[in-house]
Structures are given as C-alpha cells and as structure tokens.
A = this chain, B = another copy of it.
Amino acid sequence: MSALLTDLYQLTMLQAYLEEDLQQTAVFELFVRKLPPQRRFGVAAGLEQALQFLESLAFSDEELQWLAAQHRFSARLIDHLAQLRFAGDVDAMPEGSIFFANEPILRVTAPLPQAQLVESRLLNIVHLQTLIASKAARVVMHAGGRQLVDFGMRRAHGEEAALMAARAAYLAGFDATATAEAGRRFGMPVVGTMAHSFVQAHASESAAFEAFARVWPQRPILLIDTYDTEAGAQKVVALAQRLASAGLQIGGVRLDSGDLAAHARAVRGLFDAAGQRALTIFASGNLDEHRIASLVSTGAPIDGFGVGTALDTSSDAPAIDMVYKLQAYAGEPKRKRSEGKATWPGAKQVCRRRRDDGTLLEDRVQLLGEPVDATPLLQPCMRSGRRLQPAPSLAQVRAFHAEQRAMLPPELRLLEPSSQPFEPVISQALRDMTARIDAAAAARP
C-alpha cells in the first residue's frame, strides 16, 4: 500500500506542524458519533489490519519523488517523510468487541505529525471491517443457526472491500466465504459449486447436473433455478436415484430466484416424497438480515444462506459516522465544538458492567485517569510503534465475538430502528472537564 493513500491535507498540515515545531504528543480517538438507528450496536473490526498499517508505514522513494515533483511541499517536509515511521502507542477494543456511539474504539498517542498523518487510512481500514462485521452480526443473530456464506465479492467495492468483507463476516459468525483469495489470505473456509452459466453451457440441465456430480462426487450442491426450480428438483431426484447405484450421493440444491420460501417448501416436499431426506436446500439471491429473519421465523425448510451484495456493501448503511478526533495535545485536553459534531475531550477509557446473568448493564466513558471499577474495554496493543502481543488468530477473534454477542440483551438484538439507542454513561469528571474547557474558551477574547 502506498503511504500516499491519505488525504492531501494531512501533508499540508504536517508541513505547518514542522515549521511551527508542533511535534509534542497528541491523543486522537477513533469512534462513531452516531450509529444508524437500526444498528443497535457496532462490532469493532479491522484492528489487525490497522496495526499492520502502522507497523509498516513508510514512504517509498517513488512516492517521495512524486511529492517532490508536485513543487508544492518543502524539502524539509519531504526529508521528514523519508524518515517517518510510526512510533506511537495504540490502545483499542479487541476485534469482535461490541461498542456503542461515542465510545472510543481505538486511541493513538503519538507525536502530532505521526498521529495526524495516519488519520485517513486508519479510518478507511477500521470503518470498512467494522461496518461489515456490524452488518454480519445482524444476519447471524437472525439466521437461527443456518449455514451462512459470504457471496458478495462481485459487487463489493473493489479488491480490499471483498477480502475484508469476507474476513469481517467470518469473525462476526459467518461460516465461510465464496472468495478464494480470502481463504488463502485468512485461512477461513471457502465454498463454491456452480453458476447458471454452467447449466446453460450444457445441452440440458440434467446433463449439467450429472457431469458436475461425476466430477465433484463429494455431495455436490446443484443449482436448480436456471429454467424452472421444481422441474430442476425433479431432475435432481432422478439423478440421485441413478447415481445411488454407483455409490454416489448428491449433497443438495441451491435456489437463487423467485419466492424462496415457496420454492423451498415445494422442493423439500418433492425430495421427502422421493425418500431423499438427506438432500439439503441452500438459498441465495438478494438476501439480507430481514429476508433471512423472515424465512427462518416462518419455518422455510432452508439449511443455509448465501448473502452477497447486501452484506458486502452494508446496504442498509453503506457508511457509519466514524471519526478520528484530536482529544489532547501537549497534555492539554482539546474539544471540537462544531454544531452537531462536538466531541468529549481528553484521553478516555470505556468501562463495561454486566448483570449477574452476564448481559450488558452499563457502559461508562471516563477519563483515562479515573478509577477503573468495571471491565476496561480499551487495551494496550502497541507501544512506541511495536506490538505488545502477537495477533490473535481469526478463530480466536470469532470466538471472542460470539461471547460478546451472547451478552446482548433482547432489545439490542432487534433489527428495527430504535428510538432509544443504548448510550454510554458519561462520567461526572469528564462532564466537569468539558464544562471547564468551554468556560475557558468563552472567557477568551
């Protein structure tokens, strides 16, 4: 990745910081100002890629030459960038954590130029996976334990979006992805069988099914809606009976169009009547958490779902209001007071309290120095540019998230917009400090 994958203003600001010698320690926090009303919680994800970015940040010769050729920046800035490495501290919620609006999920403490420069790409990394993990968790909560597969690569927004969506969905509880490279990159399960074009390329649907089943005899899944779903299902039954004598077994079928509930019932009935109870039914086609919740709750006989575009583009909310704000500089707490965009100043911690049954009771946002009397969510993960722990495996992150999700009370599991979103308590000390900053600002000429 190019170190120039940043907003140009980071560089114009850096040049000024150098000229003015504003290089003391800055504290920036990354958080969501407001969740979309239907998103009753967020799932923090992307920390691993964020740390990789910070560890490897360096301008290449080609990048520096391009900058110099713009005749915009000083030689001093370009020399500074040539030497620049991220040598700051990072504290963050572990990947898979449940979070709410106004809770810092990642804090950077570093000399101002470093902490400033990394803003654009840090947000770009953490926003993407957090967005998709939060969407995926909604699907997982309402899929009743059915198999869930990420099908979204083709309409994900580019390469990184596709790969990170596969990762984020898996850590949030999906079972697999269709994207081969995600399997290689993250060691996660990959599945895939056939497209309509495979059926169409053959002289008949039956010929396509039989050819596929002979090449892939390990319980293949056959796509049966290219022409007529129920007719396709009948061909599968006939084929299953024919292949049984050769000791071959069909795994099941995929439906990809029409009224999925009605087709699933008809196909299930047809299979069961023919004694093919082991054949499974997998469904795909414009599915999202709402359609899946409806199919599951009405008892549609579907064993698994492929979720594509809606997952990979986070279709109900293709962005969340995630920001990275300066909260302290040179030991002084700082506060942005723009209309509707004011922030809580200072370096902060989030402490979580649970009920005796383990469900979430309260989150409290407090100043970093306040006594911690509940579970602190932000944990040290980088000091002076070096990681404190090896990265957890994706399986560990997935297990941690499952435990986190189990903590959610029923009202936070609903898919509908909430008029009373869960909000963290803001500590009295933080409120008092904010009031002091505002009063001091008002007293200034």
Contact = CB atoms under 8 A, between A and B. Distances in A.
Interface of A: 1-2, 4-13, 15-17, 19-20, 22, 26, 28, 63, 66, 70, 112, 116, 119-120, 123-125, 127-128, 131, 151, 153-164, 178-181, 183-184, 190-198, 200-202, 204, 211-212, 214-216, 225-229, 256-258, 309, 313-315, 318-320, 322, 325-326, 329, 334-341, 441, 444
A227 B180 contact: no
B325 A196 contact: yes
B180 A8 contact: yes
A13 B194 contact: yes
Contacts of A196: 325-326, 336, 338
Contact of A154 (B12, B127, B153, B161): B127
B322 A155 contact: yes
Contacts of A322: 155
A154 B160 CA distance: 14
Contacts of A318: 157, 313-315, 318
A193 B340 contact: no
B4 A258 contact: no
A63 B184 contact: yes
Given A159-B1, A313-B319, A314-B318, A200 B329 contact: yes
A211 to B, nearest CB: 5
Given A5-B159, A15-B216, 8 more contacts: A8-B191, A9-B192, A11-B180, A13-B195, A20-B211, A157-B158, A158-B158, A200-B335
Nearest to A11: B180
Given A11-B180, A319-B313, A257 B340 contact: yes
A216 to B, nearest CB: 6
20 contacts: A1-B159, A5-B179, A6-B153, A8-B190, A9-B192, A11-B180, A12-B192, A12-B216, A26-B201, A119-B154, A123-B154, A123-B155, A127-B155, A131-B157, A157-B161, A157-B164, A160-B160, A196-B325, A200-B326, A226-B338
Given A19-B215, A20-B211, A183 B8 contact: yes
B16 A198 contact: yes
B2 A184 contact: yes
Nearest to A125: B158
A29 to B, nearest CB: 11
Contacts of A158: 124-125, 128, 157-161, 164
B341 A257 contact: yes
Nearest to A127: B155
Nearest to A13: B198
Nearest to A212: B16
Ranked nearest first, the 3 interchain pairs of A and B with the lowest CB-CB distance are A8-B192, A158-B160, A9-B192
Given A154-B120, A192-B9, A216 B16 contact: yes
Given A124-B155, A160-B159, A338-B226, A181 B5 contact: yes
Contacts of A325: 196-197
Nearest to A74: B215
Which of A120, A157, A256, A336 neighbours the largest number of chain B CB atoms within 10 Å of its CB? A157
A258 B181 CA distance: 44
B154 A156 contact: no
B5 A162 contact: yes
